[in-house]
Structure 1
């Protein structure tokens, strides 16, 4: 496990120390970029319009959008800063690849010292000229023989080119063409800032010698958080809208990368002897290991693998008596070079990031005798998710034509009509593709793969072009459908088709794994895949897209946002075109993922009803390409990378990845979990919660490090959850891990195979005690609740169905005693429930005051004066006609939650009122008030909340999460006093009068009690009833006192514990303490006596909380109280006019 065979301890110390200063380092680099941009902005004779034109002009005559042009300019400025940083590394580590030059200052990089020492003149520009020459020399000396590849690569020191196909190189050409762009003062300031940064970070002031090379990638990824903007006059940086945020890419702490790498690679480079000690494998075995990061970024995992494998190789040389070829330092450098050249592979979509990964590996190897491009053939740019395979290419991809065009919901069009592209696509599919494909299958199926390589291409180049053409069909631009390769024309080539294929391939970044790394796949695949892939959801986000054009876009509601979209489209047609293309990409990508594994519609997806074998044994797995295990949820990039990684591995290969916690909790990852449990050996599941800000995302976000071996099946998973420190993975030892068997996973989650978050073996004991004797919430058999689940109205998509309260007030509507709003003509508008309005047993927890969205202000509503105070109202007839509405008695609960809040489930009875999507509703098949109240008692109990938290990894209570939670059977629960106690807690509004009458008809003995005194509206009575309910529910679940003590532990180290409840109160007054006392009493006297006699709070607690009832609850006789209830029920219906008929009250 990690830490048992780690590398140099000093390097680890330096690395960890750097992690503490990472933010300061990144900010200094950003300041350097900003100084550079300011100098560009203030340059004499600088014409930014001319710059934008030169950068944005594509080789085919088209123009980039202003946004893309500014991005290229920003990247060019960042590239210059990264060049300076790498030069400082080279100088500090005595890497002198220019030593052969006769010009000494350039040969030993002393020119940097001279530039720092020269007078800082703002009117001289010699330093910039020297730097440009140094950059040019570095490119020539560090990349010998790379000239032919200049159009296809973005080398760090490669000079700009105004005629390049890449906007970055065109932007660099603009900057490098100006000799008077950056003054000597500016250059000196840049170098000083970058060097001063190092002096504030151990271990050596002003020296990059021991500065971890990860700092290069860290700085670059931080810069991706920013975006260059232009207000028409000045250039400026804006945070939070850059490429890193859009792609869900985050900096991986070196400690985390190192620990996960060691855990995954250990069985490949070490073995255990008879005493259980780690022994390195032979040098031949070690260098035969092939490690890949398919989303390598600047190479953090590759650097970790390089160090770990180099350390193992050096130990192997010593162990197996290999004769030393040099001094230890030189031998390690040569071992590192051997590992880098023979073992490491990487792919990333960002070309410049790929170059930084290469540079970082070169610096880490530390041998200036090898060229900077020594590993170019193994670290490559491309879209790892989009490429074809030899066995797929054999068939025409007819399924590519099933894609949507992206303009289906284009309701704000100015220059483009909605569904026009979709209609064109459908016409070609029906009238051309389908008939030709049918004819091909009937008459000459072999010609599906009949495309030939162009005569002037080599075999490899010809295959690459044909593979690109096959993939381009899936992303073919809708404006060129007339020349798209059809089944009859696919084998024929034309200049027009080739140009479009090249353009699409460049834009998407097709990456054909077999052609890029042929030797790897001839031997069966990679030995290990290590990665922290992007965590983005692959669907369009209008907020992120339009924020680039309107900084205030995030503050608009949906209707305002649609208006702004139209205004932007009217101002610039290119924005509308880019918006449609942006949406189309996600539609095309979804179709690719859905069908690429069966491009002719002839294979199966996980969960499908049919399958076939193309070959036998391991070859059959290789013949079935990804993606077949993505489920039906939204596309998530991390899921795609997980499945791709599994596919790229050879048998017994190791997979180690950092992914969101959804991998073990979500329904959308069920197919992947099944794959990993049934066809892999899932070795490790190490869960984190981001409370210590390991990643720059919300502190409640959860993620996991997973390690598995391809092949076989899982018997036990070593796991732990809710770790907060990245160092925890490095400190891991097997005895500290819990273990869960595959059978336990299936018994606790038979449908989705969710892996429950447990903190101790005690949790497993309690879960295994509860589940066998319970019914699942989602079950539909006779002994279950047979619940109906609904999300009635979407607060965004259905926003046209309701309006703010002010809208109704202006039309004469006012609230009545029931909480509904009525105008002078008797028309009814209903309050729309939002998540903040409800609490546990509380239908009116908060009331809206003002504002909207996240800035809205809400106020707590006192228990003794409850009323509905909504933000939005909906016309009663809209609710009546809705097919999604659930009428009658129902339970609403808060969708937004957290397992680390005081409670996770907040459910309340609501009757006949609409609910937004953030307050989903549940309704039993028997929707009587007793049944619904019993369900509320179960869901709001401590025990149920505990069970829910064990499977809750995110911040939403989706149905698939609650569906497999265990409930008490309705027969058992409804036979207790729990429904009545839940009703007393919940039915505390005048509008609940009709429900009280229904309850009295079912429980006639209620007529002997004062109606108002049945309302639990004091702190005393609510606490008493809540404690009783929790005690009875715990007993019905079959728990003993020790079990409930464990669940209600006051240990604050338990992240999911209930210690937060009443933590501001003395322990004797806390609900958890009193619940244990009530449960202890129940065990002593028995549940029947407990229910019959009731349970009272301890005398001192009761005295502190005051009376059980308010004075107004004691007014009048019992008969008078019920007459009041009946009058309110009648008045409610009369005041609502036709509302009862409209909505089925």
Structure 2
């Protein structure tokens, strides 16, 4: 037997690159991983010599670690007899730990190299698995997959690894290190009092992140978070689980008078978690239901004195109904009686009320073990829940109503589909019965009914005889020949969706399917073993039999995964899409024929024949699939409570589910959580929601609560159905925290026009996503790749307009590149999009692209011309959520969504409004995740054209030239002109400036570059004016702006304090300019100047204006009529220079001073002409300036 030294605490833990180098709760997790390495080390050389993969060895070591944790908890709770004179000193884990620690402290020889402890540990595992019949040590055989012994010749690689580890374990020093670190496992899970499900779940979840590498026979654990993310294995914090369980189950525990139901009714409840993991929700449900049953027995007078015949000892008889009677020691008023009753009730609740499913067999075994630990009943084997907690795919299975109908949809989009459809028609015309023959004489519904009756009889066996129940289950349920045959046919039905190839013996067509029931059974068995089909009615027949088939409640935290990331996405997509849309008229005729022939199971569950019809048009997401599946699994009047991503509240793909819950159920609660405090160990920007719905009726009011950061949520706001429908045709929930926000949000929507219908002239805005940022579609590549191919920045020849730019020393060149094949264009990613413009507003900084694209490839594509790009990856808690920038004729990736309108002036107006506080206020309430998508943007409330056409009341100024329907000097014109100055600060916008100078000739009176807002002072002034104009166009007064911009006036020192910032509204605008003093902040200037007392208009020549009086030299207005330079739109008393310049610097950059207007505009026109020669467009379908 090989004995290995245990690696040191700082041993050889490998650090993966990047984020995987940082381990969560690193010290304790490192201890667990070191324990894993220590278990593996002695067997690593032999395993490497055999040439076997590392993963089975890692799983075997993890199973051993889990065994030790479970035994430690079982000994601590009395499930294993540590006080037994034989078990305690000879077998117990706690006894071994004490002995080894004592020897180490006493220095009684070296523990290193000594091999006494590991054989004792293995003997303990065998004792738990097989039990002991010896009268001196009577311990039952607990069994269970977790403790199954390893076998050298097993077909399971994990059992082979366990066999190797049994004879190649750590020495006594290594065993002591492992035992020491078991305490770290407990502390990681919350301490010795943590629920058993949390204990095993946390350990399993954390170890799931690590993979094992064997280099030269030496084990090395490498952190790989993608493993855990790919399985969706994130243990739900117990506080969250308990709160959701309470909200979901409480209405089921009381009658119409709100009185607690009798115990027998509570023990008849059926609760299931379809993605149970290690059982956190089932553990919380066990605790909640057990307390309810105990209180119900007390309130309904079910405790009475028992006549034991012994005067010296009192006893109490507890009648729980359903022929369940318990005799407990002690009087009814004995304080210890309640705890004794609670222990017995927990066993009854587990056996009668709880069901669970999970795709991961290890997680299922952990859930069984956790609930076994929770029962505190040493008479029960670990296998007593094998028939109630099962491993399988909760989303892939066959219903009895599906079985008579050949699945034509399984062939959809395949070349053989026409052949299969023709064969199905011939079978139908030949009047062949579509009822599927079974082995034996039973029909599907009779098999289900018989199995249900067997389970009822087994449940009636007293709890003192668990082995009799287990034997009966194996013989009468698992051994039922007709049930086995029925499962084979259901597997065959599902396998058609998950096998490839044309019709034949391996994948039978309709004729062979009905004429030969055995056709395709072998591949079906293989597919069922691989994919773990789960046929709900066959696995849990007692749940779906009777007057009210289905569960009373489903709850849990299902995986959050988009199917397109799965390697088997094609097969899964075919399954879910086909199940949602059965095989057309032929399928309907088959189903109708099955009903005419009197098949009752087809009528009972016809609604389940298309279980995934409410998934929307977007990619399939597992959380939505689980929600809809749960809806079909609960009975009428049943309830579901799930933790799901925040997209359930607002995503377009979840809109059909929201309508289902609102129209066909009573949606009671929607509780949204922020993950900033890492309730789940994923991205802190993500949000998730607790959803509680009752099936049946119609929703009139939903209690919604947003922004919760702790497991105990705040009281929500009652949303009326009318408010939800008025806000969004897709029934999306905005994140509003109170009555004032609701009033403001509602006012904006009722006064505004959704962007999808907002038409400044001939048409509404169009939305597009141009290039896939994920793979480049072969059209663009990173800058380093181009540099390696010899690409260099484009330097214009002397005499070209761009060369004049460079020679003048202000804007560099055109920010283009070139290689031997021609010009390269910067590709606009979302990160390049800043408010109003691209990258840095100072053109000398240039555009800093990540990727480049050949000019000729882009010019051959679509999406040409000027565009407004919106950053898609964003969050409601960022400094700004709605970030829109003006983009010249350059390619954009899908992370920079593109909006276009027919005229450039309209796009400038759109740009100004999208960057305003009123629209960003709305965006921050409707963006529930990390993406701002089309369905968010297109429902933004735009100001009416009549409001935009009003003359600005902020200042008196000479009339501007007429523009479209907005009129002279209108709010819309001023917004557009300011947006031009803020967004078009680059030579690539020269065509736009030439076009605007034709509409606004007064632009020509000052140099082109003098109009560019490149200094912080000028940009702040223009943005403040735009926000005041936008608020006026939206009909908002000072009080509304105060509400939007509250908490923005705190000193910079306080806003920089994380503790203080955590007390502020996470969606507030207080992050904007928080490094500045309050009087120079964008937000505070808007609030101050929104009130008449805050406005002062300087006398003639007293200073600059944010729009019209920007001085050409920085000292005095030039090139403008005196009447214009004497007024300002929104000055802060005593003027912009006195207010902003001391804090933010001058209004003009040095390179903007001293320019000649005529020469500068000539340069602009020449640059525009050169861009037109290169092929750049100003508007789609037009080149140059046309």
**CA displacement at 1:595 relative to structure 2:** 1.2
- The answer to whether residue 1026 in structure 2 is matched with residue 1045 in structure 1 is no
2:296 pairs with 1:316: yes
2:1131 equivalent in structure 1:
1096
**Distance across 2 between alignment mates of 1:689 and 1:202:** 22
Q: CA deviation at 1:485?
A: 2.4
Aligned residue for 2:452?
A: none
State the shift of 1:843 in Å: 2.9
Change (3 A) 1:283 1:298: same
Flag the structure with more relative contact order, 1 or 2, with Cα contacts below 8 A and sequence separation at least 6.
1
Render the CA deviation track for 1:394-429: whole Å, top value 9, x for unaligned: 1111211226xxxxxxxxxxxxxxxxxxxxx63x44
Residue 431 of structure 2 is matched in structure 1 by: 444
8 Å contact 1:115–1:188 — kept in the other structure? no
> Structure 1 residue 181 and structure 2 residue 169: aligned?
yes
- 2:888 alignment partner, one of 885, 901, 911: 911
Q: 2:899 aligns with which of 922, 940, 958?
A: 922
Displacement of 1:107 in angstroms is: 7.7
Indicate conservation of the 8 Å contact 1:793/1:916, yes or no.
yes
Structure 1 Cα separation of the partners of residues 118 and 1155 of structure 2: 92
Map 1:489-568 to 2 at 5 A: 489-491=512-514, 497-523=520-546, 524-540=549-565
| Other structure's SS at 1:385 match | coil
Hey, what's the Cα distance between the residues in 2 that align with 1:788 and 1:1016?
28
1:983 maps onto 2:986 in alignment: no
1:231 deviation in Å? 3.9
Q: Distance in 2 between matches of 1:38 and 1:905?
A: 54
Distance 1:363 1:491, change over 3 A: same
Mapping of 1:44-123 within 5 angstroms?
Answer: 46-50=46-50, 52=52, 66=53, 70-96=54-80, 112=96, 116=100, 121-123=111-113
Asked if the contact 1:783–1:971 (Cα under 8 Å) also holds between the matched residues in 2, the reply is no
Identify the residue that residue 745 of structure 2 maps to in structure 1: 767
Structure 1 stretch 907-916 or stretch 647-656: which is displaced more?
907-916
Q: Is the 8 A contact 1:822 1:1136 kept in 2?
A: no
Checking the alignment, whether the CA contact within 8 Å between 1:595 and 1:601 is kept in structure 2 is no
The 3-state SS of whatever aligns with 1:484 is: coil
Task: Measure how far apart 1:1140 and its partner are.
Answer: 11
Give the direction of change, closer, same or farther, for the CA distance of 1:1131–1:459 in structure 2 (3 Å limit): closer
Instruction: Give the C-alpha shift of residue 704 in structure 1.
Output: 0.8
Which one of 695, 703, 710 corresponds to residue 725 of structure 1? Answer: 710
Distance 1:497 1:99, change over 3 A: farther
Q: Does 1:950 align with 2:945?
A: no
Change (3 A) 1:604 1:1077: farther
Q: Which residue of 2 aligns with 1:253?
A: 237
Q: Hey, what's the Cα distance between the residues in 2 that align with 1:1039 and 1:252?
A: 43
Cα displacement string for residues 443-474 of structure 1 (whole angstroms, at most 9, x for unaligned residues): 23523524546999611111111111111111
Residue pair 2:673, 2:709 contacting (<8 A) in 1 also: yes
Which 10-residue stretch deviates more, 619-628 or 310-319? Answer: 619-628
Report the alpha carbon displacement of residue 380 of structure 1 after superposing the two structures with TM. 1.0
Native 8 Å contact 2:242 2:284 kept in 1:
yes
Contact 1:400 1:595 in 2 (8 A): yes
Select 2:575's aligned residue among 592, 616, 623: 592
| Partner secondary structure for residue 117 of structure 2 | helix
Give the whole-Å Cα distance in 1 for the aligned partners of 2:401 and 2:209: 40
| Residues 18-56 of structure 1: per-residue CA shift (max 9 Å, x gap) | xxx9876554433322211123226xxx2524262xxxx
Q: CA deviation at 1:801?
A: 1.7
SS at match of 2:849: coil
Counterpart check, 1:1055 vs 2:1055: no
Deviation of 1:328 after TM superposition, in Å, equals: 2.8
Write out aligned runs for 1:139-218 (5 A).
139-141=129-131, 155-176=145-166, 178=167, 180-195=168-183, 198=186, 208=192, 212-218=196-202
Match of 2:834 in 1: 839
Residue of structure 1 aligned with 2:1089, choices 1078, 1081, 1087: 1078
The match for 2:369 is 359
Equivalent pairs counted in the alignment come to: 989
How far, CA to CA, are the matches of 2:132 and 2:202 in structure 1? 23
Question: Is the 1:843–1:910 contact (alpha carbons within 8 Å) kept by the matching residues of 2?
Answer: yes
Comparing 699-708 with 214-223, greater Cα deviation is found at 214-223
Query: Is 1:36 paired with 2:39?
Result: yes
Q: Secondary structure at the match of 2:847?
A: coil
1:776–1:784 contact (8 Å) kept in structure 2: no
Which residue number in structure 2 is paired with residue 333 of structure 1?
343
**Deviation, structure 1 residue 143:** 14
CA distance in 2, matches of 1:131, 1:1106: 74
Checking the alignment, whether the CA contact within 8 Å between 1:100 and 1:107 is kept in structure 2 is no
How far residue 625 of structure 1 moved from its aligned partner, in angstroms, is 4.1
Contact 1:674 1:753 (C-alpha < 8 Å) held by counterparts: yes
Structure 1 Cα separation of the partners of residues 60 and 817 of structure 2: 63
Q: Is the Cα–Cα contact under 8 Å of residues 612 and 625 in structure 2 kept in the other structure? A: yes
Deviations 1:495-535 (A, max 9, x none): 89433222211110111110111111114111111101111
Task: Find 1:401's aligned residue among 411, 418, 427.
Answer: 411
Q: In the alignment, is residue 1016 of structure 1 matched against residue 1013 of structure 2?
A: yes
Distance 1:634 1:226 in 2: 30
In structure 2, the residue matched to 1:575 is: none
Equivalent positions of 1:637-648 (< 5 A) are 637-648=622-633
Rounded to whole Å, the distance in 2 between the matches of 1:1111 and 1:214 is 64
Distance 1:377 1:1112 in 2: 79
Shift of 1:480: 10
Counterpart among 909, 913, 937 of residue 912 in structure 2: 937
Match of 1:753 among 706, 715, 731: 731
Structure 2 length as normaliser, TM-score?
0.78
TM-score w.r.t. structure 1 length?
A: 0.80
1:893 aligned onto 2:870: yes
Residue 289 (1) aligns with residue 238 (2): no
CA shift, 1:782, in A, is 7.8
Give yes or no for contact 1:452–1:491 (8 Å, CA) kept in 2.
Answer: no
**Cα 1:457–1:378 shift into 2, 3 Å:** closer
Following superposition, the deviation at residue 110 of structure 1 comes to 7.0
How far off is 1:1019 after superposition?
2.0
Aligned with 1:464 (options 475, 487, 502)? 487
Question: Structure 2 CA distance, aligned partners of 1:1135 and 1:109?
Answer: 80
- In the alignment, which of 1164, 1170, 1174 is matched to residue 1125 of structure 1? 1164
Asked whether the 8 Å contact 2:33–2:207 carries over to 1, the reply is yes
**How has the CA–CA distance of structure 1 residues 1137 and 378 changed in structure 2, closer, same or farther, with 3 Å as cutoff?**
closer
In structure 1, distance between residues paired with 2:916 and 2:201: 49
Counterpart in the other structure of 1:682: 667
* Other structure's SS at 2:118 match: helix
Asked if the contact 2:33–2:221 (Cα under 8 Å) also holds between the matched residues in 1, the reply is no
Q: CA RMSD in A?
A: 3.6
Work out which of the two has the higher radius of gyration on C-alpha atoms and give 1 or 2.
2
1:603/1:95 Cα in 2 relative to 1: closer, same or farther (>3 Å)? farther
Q: Distance in 2 between matches of 1:293 and 1:969?
A: 49
**Displacement after TM superposition at 1:1079 (Å):** 2.1
Q: Is the 8 A contact 1:98 1:138 kept in 2?
A: no
1:737 to 2:775 alignment: no
Give the match's secondary structure for 2:693.
strand
Aligned mates of 2:1177, 2:1003 — CA distance in 1:
30
SS at match of 2:1091: helix
Q: Unaligned regions of 5+ residues in structure 2, if any?
A: 1-23, 104-108, 135-142, 304-315, 317-326, 329-336, 443-478, 589-594, 797-801, 803-812, 949-965, 1049-1060, 1098-1105, 1109-1126
In structure 2, the partner of 1:1007 is 1004
| Counterparts of 1:445 and 1:492, CA distance in 2 | 9
